[in-house]
Structure 1
Amino acid sequence: MMSPMGITASLVVGIDGSTTWSANSAGISTPADSADFLARRKGYDCIIIGGNTARTEPYSQTPVPLVIISRGEINPVPQNPDAFLWNVSITDAIEAARKEFGADIHIEAGASLVKELLEKQRVDDLYLTLTPALGGSHPFDWKSALKTFPHCAMHEIGVTKFYHASKLER
């Protein structure tokens, strides 16, 4: 894997576009996806997630500082000493995180925040994992998302497909 550069988003998606099952991504993910995701996130200066992701996914420990963007006033992961709760937009959070932690930022938010960033062309790299899961919720148009990047590579491990879409050729 190349060294991370800029703003990277990661998302696991079922074949039907679903991104959650019973409120989180565990029912969509596969063991291969989990291993790839956990290995990749260590190389960034910080991780940014939304409040819903913080409340439904396991973020009690992260390898780097965690920024939670939320309108709420209570930190949903108080057990994580590296978690920061910011009441700002996703784009403002990216700019503030660059100044506070460094330029390499990993977005681990849900489908709506990733879609917003893609529409604003704020994602340099998209790591999208496609699994055979069906019937979940929070759909994401993964085919259209991949088409917004000039470069895209794919590899498979078992039933899991890994896409790396990038603004730059790697």
Structure 2
Amino acid sequence: MGSISATMWITLDGVVQGLGRPDEDTRGGFEHGGWGGPYNDEVMAREMGKARSESGDMLFGRRTWQDFISVWARATDGNPMTEHMNAATKYVVSRTLEETSAWENSVLLRGDATETVAALNDRDLAIIGSASLVRSLHAAGLIDHYTLLIHPLTLGTGTRLFDGPAPLTEFDLTDCVTTTKGVIIASYRRR
């Protein structure tokens, strides 16, 4: 039986929107894009490198997959993360995407997210971002592991990891590392 892991960069007030750059995700008039950059350090790079060094397939929502294409699909920088992202099978859950040829090793999953992902129950899948997909899979009890990079700031606005009710689910803390910039990297496994 496979498992699904979600890695989310999150603020103290639960915002997961637009961490990478100002224009990353401006939906809803979000003006705080790029909030995560000042908190990157060697500890975070090392911890994320360890997580990505494990083999496994990737799982994306359409928006995140399309955004990642511009960063990873054409990169030839020798970065182990780049190599992992390009070599991994990338499953893309979408009701509107026509095809996935823009990024090698991508497979389109059409239809209801919970049904199409549940059908992949023999695979280990890793999600980076894709908050809407994570919320749907969490509600269906399909997320087995979370790695939360909890940043020491509040934004007040933006898409939150859990907008609205989430089902009661208990997790055990399995690892915790603090970066030099105060980001807590906490790993949880569903009980």
- Shorter-chain TM-score tier: 0.7 to 0.9
Contact 2:10–2:148 under 8 Å retained in 1: yes
Aligned pairs for 1:1-170 within 5 A? 6-21=3-18, 22=22, 23-24=24-25, 27-28=35-36, 30-31=40-41, 32-57=43-68, 58-60=71-73, 62=85, 63-75=87-99, 78=102, 80-98=103-121, 102-135=122-155, 137-141=158-162, 148-153=169-174, 154-158=176-180, 159-167=182-190
Say which one has the larger Rg.
2
User: Deviation of residue 34 (structure 1)?
Assistant: 4.8
Tell me how far 1:85 sits from its aligned partner.
2.1
- Compute the TM-score of the two structures, normalised by the length of structure 2: 0.67
Checking the alignment, whether the CA contact within 8 Å between 2:61 and 2:132 is kept in structure 1 is no
Percentage identity across aligned positions?
15
- Count of residues in correspondence between the two structures: 158
Q: Deviations over 1:126-162 (max 9, x none)?
A: 11110124426211249x98x8333114321221101
Kindly state the Cα deviation for residue 114 of structure 1 after the two structures are TM-superposed. Answer: 1.3
**Structure 2 unaligned regions, length at least 5:** 26-32, 74-81
TM, length-normalised to structure 1: 0.74
CA RMSD of aligned residues (A): 3.0
Residue by residue, what CA displacement relative to the aligned partner does 1:34-54 show, whole Å, maximum 9, x if unpaired? 543343134243110001111
Q: Which piece of structure 1 moves more, 33-42 or 43-52?
A: 33-42
